[in-house]
A and B are shown apart, each in its own frame.
Chain A
Amino acid sequence: MGFLELQNITKIYPNGTKAVDETSLNIDNGEFVVFVGPSGCGKSTLLRMIAGLEDITSGKISLDGNLINNIDPSERDVAMVFQNYALYPHMSVFNNMSYGLKNRGISKDEINNKVNDVAKLLEIDQLLSRKPSMLSGGQRQRVAMGRAIVRNPKIFLFDEPLSNLDAKLRNQMRLEIKKLQRQMGVTSIFVTHDQTEAMTLGDRIVVINNGVVEQVGTPKDIYSKPKTKFVAEFIGSPQMNLFQSKIENGLAKISDIQIKLNNTLNIEDACVGIRPDDILISDKGEYSSLANLVEYLGSDMIIYSSIGGQEFSCKLSSKINLKAGDIFKFDISPSTVHIFDNVTGYRA
């Protein structure tokens, strides 16, 4: 089991910085939850409070219904994988993986079996006698994972474990983590600043900004219905285009362009968000603009343009023949437009 409840968790550092502010969240048994946000947003602090490495200023953390606020990190039954792997440099891979078990008084035979099983699972059984300094980055990452898995904890905590790997290895490990988690069904919390990792890994994503949870939801929810302007901008690549606008009776005005929305909103200070791939280029398009710059990405290309001084980008298939300096025509479907109130920052 691994049912985690966070109730009004707050962390204030001695210097007065509020890292986490009144965060409440329930994580179901076997669920894979990703904390995502810009660096310094408090996501790691929250994870470290769950691990017990950081004191909680106020609030309650309970695991399977038991309050764990004051339980020693070693007795919380959580395992953590660190960004820089944090392997014990003086110990062999085998000892790295068995250290936590040994300290919990598990018999030698059982330790041997467990370590060997996990090593086989992660394909590091050839490396058991090596020291971490003799391993590559990817192998170290596997050992760090193995050290967590072998403990058979209630919860896995991942603190940006992929950010030290190169792009190719990162994708590979990402898939593997997802597969392992599905296979073992252990509750997992994964901290990252990379929205691709968040989208691909999480059953649910928790978007955090400035110590506050902006939105909790499935990747699809978060992408298609961002609750705040921050979430809209943070999730999705390339970033969502945001236009300052004034909405009168369902008509959004962005300088000389007018977009008819399928509602009757009236917002003085609004922000209109349109994802780059929701700008539909066609010869019969209602609007037109000048392509300032074209980025070719293989199958796709990104066009940078502007409307009345507000820059935006659109993503389209690179089969379309368009180059910088061309005028292009496009349509916007009202159903793909996200409207935010600039005053509150919330979705309207």
Chain B
Amino acid sequence: MKKVQFKSNYSQYFFLAPQLLILLIFLYWPIIQTFKDAFTMQDAFGFGSQFAGFDNFLFIFSDPSYFTAFKFTIIYSLVITLITGSIGLLLAVQANKVIHGKNVYKTLLIWPYAIAPAVVGVMANYFFSERYGLLYHLFNNLWGFNWYKDVFDAYIYVIIAGSWKQISANFIFFLAGLQAIQKTVIEASIIDCKSNIRRFWTITFPLLMPTTFFLIIINITYAFFDTFGIIDTTTIGAPGSETKTLVYKAYIDGFKGLDLGSAGAQSIMMMIIVLFITIFQFRYIEGKIHYN
């Protein structure tokens, strides 16, 4: 096919301009600003700032609360990945079997995906409020649940709040993955293997591997970055700073604590984490798990 050649050397810039402008203002400028913040120290009243080298980084590494947030974020993302992945898969497998009212099930299971994290947090609030929370009192009766004081209980609170909506995302992708499996491959395995469970683990699940790895990345990124609204509307990091994610901590330190230098350094640390996740995704997942 012949490529279309335009005579003008400038028209392409004209058409690209709106997109470039958006990128510049909302992406590149903040990144540059973050780097500037990370390597400068501001005085307490915000009147002046001076170059600080790696002092901000040294400060966050020596700060125990940074490691608390780091630990929480890792646990939070792993647990959310596991819970949303397994429940999403279970629902998808079951919904895939349904013959009557298939679309009703699908629609209902996809709905939560459309709800904003902050709204999810507010709803979770109702369930976990000390005064009228249904789940709060249920758990409280079972083992004396009190997320205001107990770290483990607070984890349960934010994990339930954070998982619910993401289960829908997992459900959609797993369902699509299941439907992409050739029907005759499943039929061949029905003739070859009697046990449903064995067939699932030896045929269906391995064939869902590309979807599973994709979702692991999606879920980790979600738990890392998109749960800001949920934390902010549920525990706000309580008890103490035990349920602050890295993103939430950077926000609190930067905008509530007005320590832009530390927040900048934390942001750059997160960039590095994202970089690693991306490299991992490209190297190990994109290449390895596709069969055809």
Contact = CB atoms under 8 A, between A and B. Distances in A.
B193 A90 contact: no
Interface stretch (B85-93, B138-146, B182-190): B182-190
B291 A53 contact: no
Interface string A88-101: 11100000000110
Contacts of B192: 74, 99-100, 103, 147
B194 A82 contact: no
B202 interface: yes
A256 interface: no
Q: Is the interface of B mostly helix, strand, loop or mixed?
A: helix
B133 to A, nearest CB: 45
A51 interface: yes
Interface string B159-184: 00000000000000000000000101
Interface in A185-213: none
Contacts of B206: 90
Interface bin, chain B: 20 to 34
Contacts of A99: 189, 192-193, 202
Nearest to B190: A73
Interface string A52-91: 1100000000000000000011110011101110111110
A131 B291 contact: yes
A86 B185 contact: yes
A308 to B, nearest CB: 49
A319 B36 CA distance: 91
A171 interface: no
Interface bin, chain A: 20 to 34
Contacts, number: 63
A133 interface: yes
Given A73-B190, A79-B191, A89 B184 contact: no
A53 B191 CA distance: 8
A192 B228 CA distance: 59
B209 to A, nearest CB: 7
Contacts of B207: 88-90
B292 interface: yes
A73 B203 CA distance: 17
A332 B249 CA distance: 96
Q: Is the interface of A mostly helix, strand, loop or mixed?
A: loop
A51 B184 CA distance: 13
Contacts of B191: 51-53, 73-74, 78-80, 100
B287 to A, nearest CB: 14
> Which of A51, A52, A73, A84 is most buried by chain B, counting CB atoms within 10 A of its CB?
A73
Contact of B184 (A84, A90, A103, A147): A84
B35 to A, nearest CB: 44
Contacts of B209: 90
B198 interface: yes
Nearest to B100: A14
B291 A86 contact: no
Nearest to A53: B187
A86 B292 contact: no
Contacts of B203: 88
Contact of A53 (B190, B193, B202): B190
Interface of B: 182, 184-185, 187-195, 198, 202-203, 206-207, 209, 291-292
15 contacts: A51-B191, A52-B190, A53-B187, A72-B194, A73-B191, A78-B191, A80-B191, A82-B187, A86-B188, A99-B192, A99-B193, A100-B192, A100-B193, A103-B192, A147-B188
Interface of A: 51-53, 72-75, 78-80, 82-84, 86-90, 99-100, 103, 131, 133, 147
Given A53-B187, A80-B187, A147-B188, 19 more contacts: A52-B190, A53-B191, A73-B190, A74-B194, A78-B191, A82-B187, A86-B182, A86-B184, A86-B187, A87-B185, A88-B203, A89-B185, A89-B207, A89-B291, A90-B209, A99-B202, A100-B191, A133-B291, A133-B292
